[in-house]
A and B are shown apart, each in its own frame.
Chain A
Amino acid sequence: MSVYRTHVLLPVDEGTAQAGVFEVKRRLEKELKARKLQDEIKVLESGSVGIVGKGVILAVYPDRMYYFNVSEDDVVRIIEEHLLKGRVVAGLNHAPIAAATAATAAKKDAKVGLTREQRRVVLDKAWTVDPESIDEVIAAGGYKGLEKIFTEKITPEAVIEEIKNSGLRGRGGAGFPTGMKWEFTRKASGTEKYVICNADEGEPGTFKDRLILEGDPHRLIEAMTIAAYAIGAGRGFIYIRGEYELSIERLRKAIAQANEYGLLGKNILESGFSFMLEIRKGAGAYVCGEETALIESLEGKRGNPRVKPPYPVTNGLWQKPTAVNNVETLANIPAIISNGAGWFRKIGTDKCPGTKVFTILGHVEYPGLVETEMGTPLREIIFGYGGGIKGGKKFKAALLGGAAGVFLPEKLLDVKMDYESLKENKAVLGSGAVLVMDEGTSIVDMLFSIAKFFAHESCGQCVPCRVGTHQILDIIYRVRQGRGREGDLETMLGLAEAMFRSSLCPLGQSLVMPVKSALENFKEEFTLAISHAEKP
């Protein structure tokens, strides 16, 4: 591998692809070649940087400089000015190049926006390396954790111990300690075991897993191999939602490369340990994110959640012990193994060590994604990274954790974003989605949208959820239309609570959270809607 003086990174994701990143790349390569710079400056595609709505993004390394809204026509100027002369192309022609900001510049440089300093663990390599080149990934420290295990002959038990000590908790929503899950699976009887990566990511407002998959698929492969080694699995599956075509393509390539490099497949790193990893595509069903529904789906069935207990750790895929972990959870593993549990524990809070990737959406200036320490106050996420409310309007509410989330009012803006603190405030971290609503938002309308989502995504197996979601939708639809009736709110809440008590799986149990929090925190809006309803 030759050594380049400069790397030009072009993050590729759905957004940048649409904005023309490939055209920019082609032009860049052409122009560099014309200047015989191709052996000095390397152009590569990288994973998404989690900045959205800013067109084609171009980053220059090691200069740590971003250009947004880059068009083909800007390429020559960037080469001439920046790459040859080392000057930021700023003042030249302002219009197309909106901003150029150092990615990890000191905080004083950037107080707001997603380019402000983050604490990146799982997204560590996501915009610095070509995700489709295993060489680069390895050069940048990829597969170090796996290597460490085999060179230092760390036992599976010790791996599990390390993960337990790290305090890592599942990032898929429930926050279950990962080390414990692995231990249960390892100790479950049977020799055939599986690891599954839950990459179904269907929670509205969530796309963090996609960015990890697109930006650093090798990290996931390394993590799953470690997981398989720890629990004693020979086969693993990445269940990924069908829409994530780019992720699937990148994962395919990454798996092929890892197999070729002996980092996956038979006799990994000559250790005698073998692990076969496959990708399975979902086909459009939110409920398949629920681990047992996911397993059913993986088996080729309808995505009906199973009754728990028994849990997947003993009766998972094909009734064999199975560890199901979220993408982000797994993405933490290599770093924990490489740097040790102690290192990990220094990040985040006591009970929730590590970082969390949040997606910031809705009425904010900078919608997108940030990875920051657990326990970061909500206010900082919304007003710091998110740049505050769009158009200078006032904050009204934040829906935390996706559709199965909770409406938080302004008075809770300072809540710390970690499992414990949120729980104390009757809220949930969920998938880490933060949907911000400004003063003009109708909570009634938002609750309607949520009910519609649940009604659409209920698997239909059990009565409370199948019919209950529709009845709630019916009521809220009426209320929203100005046809609400006395008692509707009580009925709705009563039903949501009954659904919580009686639904077969967490999907039906969780509609109560948005309903209850909306009614608790924004009651007037609902009563107003009903009292203004046309009376027959």
Chain B
Amino acid sequence: MSEMVTINIDGRDIQAAKGENLLKVARDNGFDIPGLCFYEKITPTGDCRLCMVKIEGRPGMVASCLVKVEAGMKVTAFDAQLEETRKMLADVLLSEHNDDCITCERDGDCQIQDLAFRYGLDTPKRTFASIWKEIPQAPDSTAPVLFYDSSKCIKCERCVKSCFEIQGKGVLSMAQRGIHSHVVAGTGQWSGSECDGCGECVQACPVGALMEKPVYGGKLKKKDVQRKVVTTCPYCGVGCQLELWIKDEKIAKVKGFDSVPNFGACCVKGRFGLDFVQSPDRLTKPLVRKEGKLVESTWDEALDLVARKLGAIKKEHGPAALAGLSSAKCTNEENFVFQKFVRAAFGSNNVDHCARLCHASTVAGLARSFGSGAMTNSIAELENAEVILVTGSNTTETHPVIATRIKKAVLFHGAKLIVIDPRRIDLVNYAEKYGGLWLRQKNGSDVAWANGMMNVIITEKLLAEEFVKTRTEDFDALKKVVSNFTPEKVEKITGIPAAQLQAAAHLYAKAACASIVYSMGITQHTTGTDNVMSMANLAMLTGNLGKESAGVNPLRGQNNVQGACDMGALPNVFPGYQAVTDAALREKFEKAWNVKLDDKVGLTVVEIMHQAAAGKIKGLYIMGENPMVSDPDLGHVKQALEKLDFLVVQDIFLTETAQLADVVLPATSFAEKQGTFTNTERRSLWVEKAVPAPGEARIDWEVIRDVSTRMGYRMEYNSLEDIVNEVNKLVPQYAGITYARLMRGDKLQWPCPNPEHPGTKFLHRDKFTRGLGKFFAIDYIPPAEWPDEKYPFLLSTGRLLYHYHTGSMSRRTVALPQYVPGPFMEMHAADMKRLGIASGEQVKVSSRRGSIVTEARESGRVDTGSVFITFHFAEAAANLLTNDAFDPIAKIPEFKVAACQIEKINP
């Protein structure tokens, strides 16, 4: 806290923090000084001049938004001259403004309108003739999500600065000058700019100049808003808090809500991509397969059928013939109920979910190294790290709001960014331009560069000796392995020049606090667990753990993948990572649930598919997953699912997977229910019901409860609260995240062991969860498949900002497909030239497992010899090509490396 001082405004003494913004202080204390350009989230611009005040000892008037509070300041906020000047300014400003409020969406929610009202500037009372019509205008409606009306723009630059200072992008600028000045994106057109549609600028605009396009339906005036609902974004693991404006029981507009973790920011999906909720494709009735076709049925009929069929399989083939896939899209409570359903009603531990395809290696690896497998720190801490090493995370696209922290650290706090990624992702620019580094490794060589960096750090004595000595074990083993990885040798394996590796090692090791951020580029390998433990090794070696802004930070992908894991939707652990093989723990759950529990570790996602194909799994219940697009080697997945005796899919859409089901159950989406999501920083966030469920869609946990009961294992949850209470009792990390606290709006980070506990910002402060941190000596193993003569290209898969996974949600929106309508493949210009392929041309891509046809697009991101395909598009499904070889420990498939060949279709 900074020092409190006394200042005086218009005769009243006021306490304020020294250095605080004077306009804010005045306003907070009830002095309603006008001002349009001031926006608390950005640095003050001071160009509307409405907030002028007089300060004793300073000549003339000063813009209070540019003044920092100092002790003893004597301020005149209101006197005749000030008000006359302000009125004059308002009058002048209005003359430049096209005030046709009648049709303006901001009517009633507009700061210049308020200003005109305040100073009584009715049209006939204005002194200055309207001149806006004489000014050439530069409107721009080329962006898919917003439009700019320069005739309503007051040139306050809030948008320009918000894009840069909040989002770290800087896409906007003012153009021209004088009366002609206006906002511009790109070289004059929004559509040709780097704008990614986050809408931060729209949110910052105080008037109707920058507006959302009506992606949720028609135009919206604030007075027509029925209610505003704050909830958690259903897309990625950042967990942005969003404010949904509801009109006619529909989402009509979305704003970023100003609280942890996003503080008002969000990305294009959160703001403009929620209309899937009201898509006509939503499932509204249960479907039952009759004569090969899915037809509508009643809930009773469908639930009975499910219970009967699954019960029969269990009876005939035993519990091991049943499996369930839970959902990282669903709430904690739903996941808790689902895994309990599999464990208690099916009687096996065959429950898993997409975390298997995602951060299974993180959970396994970090549990071994530290004792718990989650982000060690919180999102906000990133902004204060000295060095941020980002590897295998395309943060700007996949965790956009976390990326803003990284960008801001670099742009405004002097942090250095090290990006280690085979592709030239956006963050590379922030590394290169601001004194950081980009290391471009060969895919799948992460253990090698990590060992190489540690080699340099140990050789040059840059290690944190004290930390290594007191807080870790098995350093000698590490040292031995690492000694083989000289920079020169590493250069041969990874392709990273030795000097660059050394530079990165120096930069990382010398920082007082350095944070590693990683994601799928590290985890989705046959060596995923090794890769993860290598990151842990690197951080421990340099003492970058157990303190603020340092650490190892795996960015969890799905909105609630952290929670689904925490809730035990995993085959080896009960909720709270309590091993199913531990008799004492098992007993605890048996007692609580009043049922006998299986003591064997269950099957993982990929194993379930294999076993189904082998005829050993006969019944499968899938809640909120779309493996027919998201699992590796789809040809094989299809065989497996078709081989099943009975498949239940509970989803919000008739997905590719649901189309194969025997029964499809319509679920409510995030917008139609309550519960909690746990975001990537272990923070439990409330999900609030905003709109009614479509048709007969039902809440996932209620459906599971009913199926379970019908199968003979009675569940007696009457409300969400009942489930939360049970979680509090059984999951130590969540013991203190009570219903009452959730209702109060607390947003707590686990571990939170009791109702008084404030939650845990960063882990391993004084000791690791497992006691001492453990070094693992890891050798480099190449990927399972590597390009050869027949399949000469390295295929890597991943994501785009504008789409989400299997596209079930993002492709059912108005805005997102406008950015990226369909599938394509990133390819290097030199390779395209060599093969005679033009950008935009359709090509056939084949691997040992299958082939797809997609558009080849020239890209500066991939290296020669590599191509990149997203798995968002079922019509050109990347997973027909991917290799389902998996990591022996975490069983995660190698989505990031496969070999493929590329052929021109019309040679």
Direct contact of A and B (CB under 8 A): yes
Point out residues on A near B: beta carbons under 8 Å: 285, 302, 307, 455-464, 466-471, 474, 491, 494-495, 498, 501-504
Complex: A455 Cα to B179 Cα, angstroms: 8
Q: Distance in Å from the Cβ of A250 to the closest Cβ of chain B?
A: 30
Q: B674 at the A/B interface (Cβ < 8 Å)?
A: no
With A456-B178, A462-B47, A501-B60 known, 5 other A-B pairs at CB within 8 A are A463-B89, A467-B92, A495-B128, A498-B84, A502-B85
Instruction: With both chains docked as a complex, state the minimum distance between the C-beta of B168 and any C-beta of chain A, in angstroms.
Output: 18
Residues in A neighbouring B88, C-beta threshold 8 A: 494-495, 498
Contact bitstring B179-191, A, C-beta under 8 A = 1, else 0: 1110000000000
By the criterion CB–CB under 8 Å, are B178 and A458 in contact? yes
Which residue, A307, A460, A474, A504, has most C-beta atoms of chain B within 10 A? A460
Closest to A457 in B: B178
The residue that A466 contacts in the complex, of B52, B63, B155, B173, with Cβ under 8 A, is B155
Do A462 and B177 touch (CB < 8 A)? no
What separation, in Å, do the CA atoms of A504 and B181 have in the docked complex? Answer: 16
* CB pair B92 A468 closer than 8 Å: yes
Is B205 part of the contact surface with A, judged by Cβ < 8 Å? no
In the A-B complex, the 10 residue pairs with the closest CB atoms: A460-B181, A458-B178, A460-B178, A462-B47, A498-B88, A502-B49, A467-B92, A460-B177, A461-B47, A467-B96
Distance between Cα atoms of A456 and B61 in the complex (Å): 26
Complex CA distance for A491 and B89, rounded to whole angstroms: 13
Q: Which residues of B contact A467 (CB under 8 A)?
A: 92-93, 95-96, 128, 131, 179
Residue of A nearest to B87 (CB): A498
Task: Write the chain B residue with the least CB distance to A302.
Answer: B174
Given contacts A302-B177, A460-B180, A463-B93, contact A471 B85 (CB under 8 A): no
Contact: A504 with B85, CB < 8 Å?
A: no
Contact check, B52 vs A502: say whether CB atoms are below 8 A apart. Answer: yes
> Which of B85, B129, B176, B180: most chain A Cβ within 10 A?
B85
Contact A498 B89 (CB under 8 A): yes
Distance between B339 CB and nearest chain A CB, rounded to angstroms: 56
Q: Is B551 an interface residue (CB 8 A)?
A: no
State which of B48, B128, B173, B174 has its C-beta within 8 Å of the C-beta of A462: B48
* CB closest residue in chain B, given A509: B60
A176 to chain B, nearest CB (A): 15
Known contacts A464-B49, A466-B155; is-contact A502 B89 (Cβ 8 Å): yes
Cα-based distance from A316 to B128 in the complex (angstroms): 38
Interface centre among B49, B81, B95, B176 (most CB of A within 10 A): B49
Judge whether A285 and B177 touch: CB under 8 Å. yes
Binding site for A on B (CB under 8 A): 46-50, 52, 60-61, 63, 66, 81, 84-85, 88-89, 92-93, 95-96, 127-129, 131, 154-155, 173-174, 176-181
> Separation in Å of the B121 CB from the closest CB of chain A?
14
Knowing A467-B93, A470-B131, A495-B92, say if A459 contacts B177 (CB, 8 Å): yes
- In the bound complex, CA of A463 to CA of B50 (Å): 9
- A501 neighbours in B (Cβ, 8 Å): 52, 60-61, 81, 85
**Cα separation A498 to B61 with both chains bound (whole Å):** 10
| Chain A neighbourhood of B127, CB < 8 A | 491
Give the CA-CA distance A307 to B66 in the complex, in Å. 8
Q: Which residues of A contact B89 (CB under 8 A)?
A: 463-464, 498, 502
Least Cβ distance of B309 to chain A in Å?
Answer: 69
Partner pick for A471 among B52, B60, B128, B180, CB 8 A cutoff = B128
A494 to B88, CA, bound (A): 9
Contacts A460-B174, A463-B92; A503 near B179 (Cβ below 8 A): no
How far in angstroms is the closest Cβ of chain A from B171? 16
18 contacts between A and B (CB under 8 A): A307-B46, A456-B178, A457-B178, A458-B177, A462-B47, A463-B89, A463-B155, A464-B89, A466-B155, A466-B181, A470-B179, A471-B92, A471-B95, A471-B129, A474-B131, A494-B88, A502-B61, A502-B89
Interchain CA distance A498-B93 in the complex, whole Å: 13
Q: How far is the CB of A386 from chain B (nearest CB, A)?
A: 34
Give the complex CA separation of A463 and B45 in angstroms: 12
Task: Report chain A residues within 8 Å CB of B181.
Answer: 459-461, 466
Distance (whole angstroms) from the CB of B174 to the closest CB of chain A? 7
Q: Does B131 lie within 8 Å of A466, measured CB to CB? A: no
CA distance A459 to B127 in the complex (A): 24
A504–B176 CA distance with the chains assembled, in angstroms: 18
A460 engages B179 (CB within 8 Å): yes
Contact of A469 among B49, B84, B178 (CB under 8 A): B178
C-alpha gap A468/B47 in the complex (Å):
13
Which of these, B85, B96, B129, contacts A498 with CB under 8 Å? B85
Central interface residue in B46, B47, B61, by most chain A CB within 10 Å:
B47
Q: Note all chain B residues with C-beta closer than 8 A to A474.
A: 129, 131
Which residues does chain A contribute within 8 Å of B177, judged by CB atoms?
Answer: 285, 302, 458-460
CA distance A432 to B179 in the complex (A): 29
Q: Which residues of the partner chain A approach B95 to less than 8 Å between Cβ atoms?
A: 467, 471
B677 to chain A minimum Cβ distance, whole angstroms, is 42
Q: Which of A469, A495, A501 has the most CB of B within 10 A?
A: A501
Q: Tell me how far the C-beta of A535 lies from the nearest C-beta in chain B, rounded to whole angstroms.
A: 18
Q: Which residue of B lies closest to A460 (CB)?
A: B181
Give the shortest distance, in Å, between B92 (CB) and chain A (any CB).
5
Give Cα A471 to B174, complex, Å.
22
Interchain CA distance A467-B154 in the complex, whole Å = 10
Given the complex of chains A and B, what is the CA–CA distance between A335 and B154 in angstroms? 50
Closest Cβ–Cβ distance, residue A374 to chain B (whole Å): 26
A63 to B628, CA, bound (A): 100
Residues of A within 8 A of B50 (CB): 463
Residues on A with beta carbons closer than 8 Å to the beta carbon of B63: 307, 504
Residues of A close to B178: CB separation below 8 A: 455-460, 466, 469-470
